[in-house]
Amino acid sequence: MKTKRIGHLIMASIVLSNLSACQLNLGVEYKRREASRQPAPPVSGENPASAAEGRVVLLTLAKAKINDSQEMRKRAEEAANLVETSAVAFFSKRAPIEVHSLREVPMESITLSNSQSAANITREGLVRTLSELRSTLTTQDTVVIYTHSHGAKTGLILNNYLTSAGSVQADIMPWDELGDLLLALPAKNVIVFTMSCYGGGLISYLNKVQSYWSSRAREGRRFLVISAQDAENLSAPNQIVDGNETRLMNGLPFAIYKAFTEADGYSDGARDGAISFEELSQYVYAVSRSAGSNQRYTNNSQKVQSYEPGDSITP
């Protein structure tokens, strides 16, 4: 197994600064599309696979606000780490895997006075990261993305910092911008989990542009996006019993963490060592709903999907 781990955003920034001319052109293309708010065009034939079987690319992101408590920052990072560890344990037995971990540097060292110099995860940085993924993914790959951050009705809250007047200024990635970047990924399988307040804003946007993803199942591709909350409500952690432990965490990351060991056979009772898209979707929905008792979790407002029954989440 070959695992590539990018532990800190500073390291990621060094890699991403060496974008090719193709990637720079992609950025120009995206800015033009952003101006008119058109969704990304369907991708076909980009980056043909160099091998018969694809790999798994896992991207996890944990981002707290500068005025969050140390406990909240730690909880965000622990949730992302838990999802990452369980996903790696599952996929590494079935396909080559590449892991990208976007974290603050480090969370416990960030204070109100050094927030702007602490290499916080920014909107621009996430755009570059997803643009780099677009240029390296093949049409045989599976990409799994988990983001854990605050959210607003307008989008994902990323970098935030103090202004000279002492107020906190947020750097927000609009839901439609994030949706466009996800739609542009050429991977065979795209699986995205968004853990934030108002995360259903991403689902709302994707539902407006269904023509760009709804036919993927018929084309031999799969698309699954699940958010922790609908577009109108906050998300909050619960005390969740996990065996002999009680964890204070949100229902979505808990459900994802458990899914990679328990979702096999969830739909039909047949444990065959694989997890289908249907099993993953149904399991995460059910466990998120039961574990996140203070969430207004409704199936239609927090999920979009395109796959055939029995389609496996592995390449």
Count other C-beta atoms under 10 Å from residue 100's C-beta.
20
Confidence of residue 136 (pLDDT cuts 50, 70, 90): very high
Packing angle of the helix pair 21-36, 175-183 (nearest 10 deg): 130
**Out of 21-30, 80-89, 227-236, 299-308, which region has the weakest mean confidence (pLDDT)?**
21-30
Examine the pLDDT at 44 and tell me if it is beyond 60. Answer: no
Which pLDDT tens digit goes with each residue over 68-83? 888 888 899 999 999 9
Mean pLDDT (whole number) for 144-165: 86
* Domains annotated on the chain, with CATH: 9-32+55-306 (3.40.50)
Confidence of residue 87 (pLDDT cuts 50, 70, 90): very high
Cα→Cα distances 221→96, 131, 139, 185, 197, Å: 19, 20, 9, 12, 29
Strands (E), the chain: 56-62, 97-102, 142-148, 151-152, 155-162, 168-174, 189-195, 222-227, 238-242, 245-249, 303-306
Q: What is the rounded distance in angstroms from the CA atom of residue 123 to the CA atom of residue 149?
A: 12
Residues 6+ positions from 139 with CB-CB distance below 8 Å: 44, 45, 46, 47, 48, 49, 54, 186, 187, 188
**Out of 31-40, 77-86, 101-110, 294-303, which region has the weakest mean confidence (pLDDT)?**
31-40
Which pLDDT tens digit goes with each residue over 217-267? 999 999 999 999 999 988 888 888 888 888 888 999 999 999 999 999 998
How many Å is the Cα radius of gyration of the chain? 18
Mean pLDDT (whole number) for 25-38: 36
Residue with the two structure tokens 């739909």: 267
Instruction: Select from 199, 219, 160, 210 the least CA-distant residue to 296.
Output: 199
* pLDDT score recorded for residue 50: 42
Highest mean pLDDT among 38-42, 138-142, 291-295 belongs to: 138-142
* pLDDT score recorded for residue 267: 84
For 269-282, b where at least 16 C-beta lie within 10 A, e where not — what string?
Answer: eeeeebbbbbbbbb
